[in-house]
């Protein structure tokens, strides 16, 4: 079976997890990695070996680090919605997209990004709570007036 040439254009092709973690840790340092990725293996007694051991066991963390490698360290444009659904190692990178210089990252930028994500999550949570309550509150007043136990009866 021949390999897809688009797949070979993926910067993760042929790169071991240890090599990937070593490259980004040497370039950014563990503090920046923790600030951007919020994965404890980069904060608590960090080393390449312990990070690799954790990432091999934890799919979500490995995919987060691999995506960071592709889009921050290799500065590729963001993946399409269809490609974003795939794990980073399975994504097809178009031939015209070539890796660039690593992005300049700082702890201050990471803090701003964390605050932005927290605000977005809070808005999402409020919208979800409001969405769940909206249908119940409209009819609840009418139901409560006639029978306060009606919503628990089936």
- The 10s digit of each residue's pLDDT in 26-46 is 999 999 999 999 999 999 989
- Give the CATH number for residue 72: 1.10.720.30
Tally the domains of the chain.
2
- pLDDT > 90: percent of the chain: 45
Does the predicted model carry a pTM greater than 0.85?
no
Query: pLDDT tens for residues 113-149?
Result: 889 988 998 998 888 888 776 555 555 555 556 676 6
Does residue 67 sit in the same domain as residue 13? yes
Backbone angles phi and psi of 136, in degrees to 5: -75, -35
Backbone angles phi and psi of 60, in degrees to 5: -60, -40
Nearest-angstrom CA–CA distance, 54 and 127: 35
Count of positions (residues) in the chain: 154
Does residue 116 sit in the same domain as residue 99? no
Model pLDDT, residue 42: 94
For residue 67, the enclosing domain spans 5-105
Does residue 47 sit in the same domain as residue 83? yes
């Amino acid at each position: 079976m021949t390999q897809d040439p688009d797949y070979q254009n993926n910067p993760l092709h042929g790169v071991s997890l240890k090599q990937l973690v070593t490259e980004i840790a040497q370039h950014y340092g563990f503090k920046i990695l923790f600030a951007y990725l919020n994965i404890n293996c980069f904060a608590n007694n960090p080393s390449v070996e312990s990070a690799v051991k954790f990432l091999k066991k934890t799919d979500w963390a490995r995919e987060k680090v691999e995506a960071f490698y592709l889009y921050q360290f290799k500065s590729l444009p963001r993946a399409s919605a269809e490609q974003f659904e795939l794990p980073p190692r399975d994504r097809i990178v178009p031939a015209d997209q070539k890796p660039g210089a690593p992005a300049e990252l700082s702890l201050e930028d990471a803090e701003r990004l964390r605050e932005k994500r927290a605000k977005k999550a809070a808005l999402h949570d409020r919208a979800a709570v409001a969405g769940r309550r909206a249908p119940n509150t409209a009819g609840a007043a009418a139901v409560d007036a006639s029978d306060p136990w009606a919503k628990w009866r089936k």
